[in-house]
Structures are given as structure tokens and as C-alpha cells.
Amino acid sequence: MRPGDFLALTNLPILHLIPPLNASLSRNISDTSTAYTFSRVFSSRDRKTLASTAMSRENAVIRDRESLERKTAAIRSAGASKLQVIADFDGTLTKYSINGRRGQTSHGLLQQGNTEYDEKRQALYDYYHPLEYSPTIPIEEKTKLMEEWWEKTHGLLIEGGLTFDAIKKSVADATISFRDGLVELFEYLEEKDVPVLIFSAGLADIIEEVFRQKLHRSFKNVKVVSNRMVFDNNGRLISFKGKTIHVLNKNEHALDMAAPVHDKLGDPNGSVDDYTMVKNRTNVLLLGDHIGDLGMSDGLNYDNRISVGFLNDNIEKSIESYKEAFDVVYLNDASMWGVVDLVSQLCPSNQ
Ligand SMILES: [Mg+2]
């Protein structure tokens, strides 16, 4: 999630949609210590899913299976009206690697259509990116540096005359793709009226364009909370809305920014207070690809949280810390099918 990283790009084929997984399901959580296994009763139309699920099963690591089962049972018993999903975008909903190449981020894919300004943003990336990972810079100072980086980058996008057409072209040309099973996951959650908050330090307008171009559809339960652009009547960027959301402060805003989606979906308890609505959904499924993403549920006084981490690279180095941090860890750029299955347990189709 960084402003920079320019790579050559290719467009990807339209995702083929298959029906949501609401058919009769049965499951069995095995006794193996790490693998989260289950079985389904699949119709013939779900064969593709079966193969994909088997693959995702191989890639799942669980430190405390009993704890996961306990949380799953508690969330299922509370019902879908108590559940919300909070997800990171880059590297979580999107693939880390595409045909052997590193997938691009919502910031990284952007080509301004102005080489001078693309190079200026790249120069900022080259300067600030090492600072982001510096172990010696205190957090307060690093936060200021990240603010500086994001704001300078946003300034260059305005100064360089970014247009919405350039965003559309950048996305069309981008090496970016959603994990397999994402559509089915979102469809299932939509059917259950479970809100999905996508929280990102990238650019909301780009993320939404990625949804439009790669999925050709939107979901009424999905809300993107990220840096949002303001365009003039000619489709030229003139400003950004609200406070800059960068990599070190994105979690502070999660709860504030979540309110509108809960508002739109309505609330079974009939409250008019957005915060009450957010807080009434006291069970959380959190999806991220960095341990810091766990902070996305900060400020929410949840009853139960199941966290799913996608560990995409440096697996040997990071597996122990990810296992400690997340309830379920998916390895090797796994698909979303394991999460689809988890959600079908949290919100069974017959409820
Ligand atoms: Mg990410």
C-alpha cells in the first residue's frame, strides 16, 4: 500500500461467476493440529469449488483450533445481524502474485498519463519506502513521514492533472486480480446482509474502479473506506476528501468511517445512532495480510473476533508471528474459498 511502484501491466479476463455457496453443506473439523479441514455435500455445479476448497485447505494453518471452533459457534449462535466483516484490500482481497509477477497495489498501478509526475511520485517512493520499514525511526516521527509522503503524492496527483480517464486506463492496464472465491464470498455476505468494510490507505476511487472493471458489478453491502478524490466537471482531480489515510493511521479511522455502510444497510435494532449500529454488530471477521491489519477492529468493543491472515511471502520468517496473531493463516497466496467456507459456518444458509 504505497504511493509508487510502477510496473508494466496487463489486463485480465472477466471473472467467471458461479453461484454462491448456499447449497446444503456439511462439515467436519478434523483432529489435525494445524490444518482446518471440512467436508461439503456438493452439487455437480460446485465441483470447481470443491477442488478450490481442497487447495485452500492445504494452505491453512491454525494455532488454536478449539478457540476457533468456540468463536465460530458463538458467532453462529448470535446470528448474521451481529456480524460485520472488516477487510484490508491490497494483498488481502487481491492476489499477491499474478502469473509469476507481483500484483500491483491500488496506489502502485496508477499511471498519471504524465511521465514527469509519474517519475516524481516514484522518487518519493524511493525516498520514503525505506523509512517506512526503518527499525530505528520512532513511531511518532515515522507517522509524520508517512503523512508527508501521502500528502506530497496526493499533491503531485493534483498538480500533474490526474483525470478519471487516466484512472480507468491505469486499472485496465494493471496487473491486479482478486483472489478466487471473492465474488462468492461477497455474494454470500450480501445475501445475509452482513456489511463488508474495506479499509485501505490506498485510493478509494481506484479500488472501486478495480471492482467495476474486474468484477463488472458492485455489492450493496460493501463499502470502501480509503482516500477519496474530488473531480471537477471535466473529470480532473481537484482535491481529496477528508483526512489523509496512510499506512500508519488507517486503523484509527475504521470505526468512524464504518458508520455509513451500517447506516445504509439498516439496523435490526432500529437505532438511529451510527455508532450504536456499528457497535451492535459485535462479532467481527477480520481479513488482512499484515499483523498491523488487526488494528482495523480497534475501537470496536467486539464480543468475538475471528482474524484471518494471508501470509503471502517470507513464509518461513513470518509464520510463527502470523500464527500467534491470526486465528487462521492462509499461505502461498491462497484463494478465498477457505473464508467462504468459514462464513458459511458463521452464517449457515438455513438461518
Ligand atoms: Mg494489505
pLDDT at position 254: 61
Phi and psi at 71, nearest 5°, equal -65, -40
Residue tagged 462464513 (cell numbers): 343
Cell matching residue 192: 445475509
Residue 330 three-state SS = strand
Choose among 295, 283, 271, 269: nearest CA to 342: 283
- The tens digit of pLDDT for each residue in 335-348 reads 999 999 999 999 99
Band (pLDDT 50/70/90 cuts) for residue 243 is: confident
Averaged pLDDT, 192-217 = 93
Contacts of 98 (CB under 8 A, 6+ apart): 12, 175, 176, 177
Instruction: Please work out, in degrees rounded to the nearest 5, the angle formed at the alpha carbon of residue 43 by the alpha carbons of 219 and 216.
Output: 25
Which pTM was predicted?
A: 0.79
Q: Give me the DSSP letters along 2-70.
A: -S---------PPPPP---S-S---------SS---------GGGHHHHHHHHHHHHTEE-S-HHHHHH
Band (pLDDT 50/70/90 cuts) for residue 300 is: confident
How many Cα atoms are found within 13 Å in the side-chain-facing hemisphere of 213?
20
Q: Say how many Å lie between the CA of residue 50 and the centre of ligand 1.
A: 27
Choose among 61, 85, 115, 45: nearest CA to 219: 85
Q: Say how many Å lie between the CA of residue 31 and the centre of ligand 1.
A: 31
Q: Say how many Å lie between the CA of residue 207 and the centre of ligand 1.
A: 13
Q: Say how many Å lie between the CA of residue 326 and the centre of ligand 1.
A: 15
> Do 309 and 91 contact (CB within 8 A), yes or no?
no
Query: Strand 97-98 relative to strand 304-311: parallel, antiparallel, unpaired?
Result: unpaired
Residues acting as catalytic residues: 88, 90
pLDDT at position 314: 86
Task: Looking at the chain, list the stretches that DSSP marks H as alpha helix, in order from N- to C-terminal side.
Answer: 47-58, 65-78, 115-132, 139-159, 164-173, 182-191, 204-215, 254-265, 274-280, 315-325, 337-346
CA distance 189 to 98: 26
Q: Say how many Å lie between the CA of residue 275 and the centre of ligand 1.
A: 26
- The tens digit of pLDDT for each residue in 110-124 reads 998 889 999 999 999
Q: Say how many Å lie between the CA of residue 230 and the centre of ligand 1.
A: 24
Domains contained in the chain, CATH given: 47-99+176-346 (3.40.50.1000), 103-173 (1.10.150.340)
> Do 254 and 299 contact (CB within 8 A), yes or no?
yes
Q: What average pLDDT does the chain have?
A: 80
> Do 115 and 160 contact (CB within 8 A), yes or no?
no
Q: Say how many Å lie between the CA of residue 89 and the centre of ligand 1.
A: 6
Band (pLDDT 50/70/90 cuts) for residue 249 is: confident
Residue 227 three-state SS = strand
Share of the chain above pLDDT 70, in %: 75
